[in-house]
Amino acid sequence: MNESGLESALQKMESVGLSPAARASFTRAWRQAASGDAGLMPEDTLDPAEGVPALTDIPAAAPDPALLDKLCVIKLNGGLGTGMGLEKAKSLIPVKDGLTFLDFIARQVLWLRRTHRRAGPRFLLMDSFSTSADTLDYLARYPDLSPDGPLDFLQNKVPKLHPDTLEPVTWAESPDLEWCPPGHGDLYPSLLGSGWLQRLADAGVEYLFVSNSDNLGATVDPALLGYFAASGLSFLMEVAERTSSDRKGGHLARRRSDGRLVLREVAQCPADDLEAFQDIARHRYFNTNSLWLRVSDLLAALAENGGALPLPLIKNTKTVDPRKASSPPVLQLESAMGAAIECFAASGAILVPRTRFAPVKATSDLLALRSDAYAVTADQRLELVAERHGLPPEVSLDDRYYKLLAGLEAGFERTAPSLRHCTKFKVEGPWRFEDGVVCQGTVKFINHGPRPATARTGHYQDVATQL
């Protein structure tokens, strides 16, 4: 394919000040798309990932607090809470006891420094243009979090493309919609292009711990840090056992051609292989998107590949205005951060308990976190209580009424119901929950009427309340 589309896109990126690293990464993705590479990973090219060591099997050893001074914690914080009806950083949503994601994250870092009497770990956010201002304003209440420098760097943006010509689209109604984020695989060109990766290396930082800001289970475990430091690995992915609710998420596998670990997302799975993709007995591990990286090896890999890691392409077809299905179709070129596992010869994975994976993707997840199924630990983590045996309650809320945060807080105005001993909790139709609703086993509240019903204070065990 003629590269005029690429040239136009690169000119557009340069005109808004995007870095050479960002342009190099986009160039690689564009050429993959132009070559007809769909980024697919057929099942017959993969073997299941076997022999993944477990965090619980790491030999007990006294952690070395000095390693904290060589660590930088990076939180991905580019997402808006639009799926919950918000137009601000998702990390600003109150989670528990009036504290937001950002409160918990800041307190976790400060707790580590205070407890171990260290200056580290350092802390950074990868913000988007939409989240940076609100986030930094909120974190001003924690002046000790980054006393000697900025708290964030910005994720890049890339042009949306015409699917047929791969030319950048124009959209006069709203020029901002001509751009899209390139997925969290943009971590690497953003770190490089902002200068932060070299700056951290120059400051003596040897390790990075990267995770999503909406996963409050992803905290710095000094024992895990010690394991990674001693392993000699360039890249370590935290994985968890897949359950039926994880069937659609990306999974870890081993590529037959070279034996390397790879991450396969559902968008990279041929339609005929979907059944195998969702086979949780065959493909047992999913990526929690919590990663450990060795700074020197990441710098070397970026230099070796011209500033752009050779990440597998993810092609997403959307409309230029996501709110208008009638607007022209566009192609968005993306990549996944965890896919970098295949870019390093010395890469590995470690099986972690579900306590390290508590993301909030929907209001149902948020309600679970707000309930007594989770407790705040001394080190400021949100952790499943012992009675849950590592498994969160299955919460299902009617999207017609609770998809948005405003609907959730209208239905559960004062407190979440007790879910400590609840296996499945389902709400269908409009409800208003009083304080003191205690659920055990499988509990359903079903209202077929148009007006909100009231769930009264009381004990509900293996029951369906219908109106």
pTM above 0.85, yes or no: yes
Q: Is residue 379 scored above 90 in pLDDT?
A: no
pLDDT over 90 percentage in the chain? 81
Averaged pLDDT for residues 317-329: 91
In 383-462, alpha helices (H): 399-402, 405-411
Report in angstroms the alpha-carbon separations of 60 from 156, 223, 224, 226: 41, 8, 11, 11
pLDDT of residue 1: 65
Verify that 344 and 370 share a domain, yes or no: no
Verify that 63 and 205 share a domain, yes or no: yes
Verify that 349 and 367 share a domain, yes or no: no
Tokens found for residue 78: 């580019």
pLDDT of residue 151: 93
The domain boundary, picked from 356, 380, 404, lies at 356
Of 306, 319, 433, 325, the C-alpha closest to 371 is: 433
How many whole angstroms separate alpha carbon 187 and alpha carbon 153? 10
pLDDT of residue 343: 96
Full domain range(s) for residue 462: 363-466
How many whole angstroms separate alpha carbon 272 and alpha carbon 193? 39
DSSP characters over 268-284: GS-GGGHHHHT-TTTS-
Verify that 415 and 278 share a domain, yes or no: no
Q: Is residue 191 scored above 90 in pLDDT?
A: yes
Verify that 348 and 457 share a domain, yes or no: no
The domain boundary, picked from 336, 356, 376, lies at 356
CATH number of the domain that residue 454 is part of? 2.160.10.10
Verify that 315 and 215 share a domain, yes or no: yes
Verify that 131 and 246 share a domain, yes or no: yes
Verify that 221 and 370 share a domain, yes or no: no
- Dmax over CA atoms of the chain, in Å, equals 68
User: Is there a contact between 150 and 130 (Cβ–Cβ < 8 Å)?
Assistant: no
Verify that 131 and 263 share a domain, yes or no: yes
Verify that 202 and 107 share a domain, yes or no: yes
How many whole angstroms separate alpha carbon 397 and alpha carbon 427? 5
Averaged pLDDT for residues 80-88: 83
Q: What is the pLDDT of residues 133-171, one digit of tens each?
A: 999 999 999 999 987 778 999 999 999 999 999 999 999
pLDDT of residue 323: 83
Q: Is residue 292 scored above 80 in pLDDT?
A: yes
- The dihedral region occupied by 195, where left means phi > 0, alpha psi between -120 and 50, and beta the remainder, is left
The domain boundary, picked from 338, 356, 374, lies at 356
CATH number of the domain that residue 106 is part of? 3.90.550.10
Mean pLDDT of the chain: 93
Verify that 262 and 334 share a domain, yes or no: yes
Averaged pLDDT for residues 386-402: 93
How many whole angstroms separate alpha carbon 37 and alpha carbon 348? 26
pLDDT of residue 14: 97
Averaged pLDDT for residues 205-214: 97
Verify that 292 and 333 share a domain, yes or no: yes
Q: What is the pLDDT of residues 409-442, one digit of tens each?
A: 999 987 899 999 999 999 999 999 999 999 999 9
Number of domains forming the structure of the chain: 2
How many whole angstroms separate alpha carbon 238 and alpha carbon 53? 10
- Contacts of 22 by beta carbon, 8 Å cutoff, 6+ apart: 13, 156, 158, 186, 189, 190, 193
Q: Is residue 99 scored above 70 in pLDDT?
A: yes
Residue that wins the pLDDT comparison between 80 and 71? 71
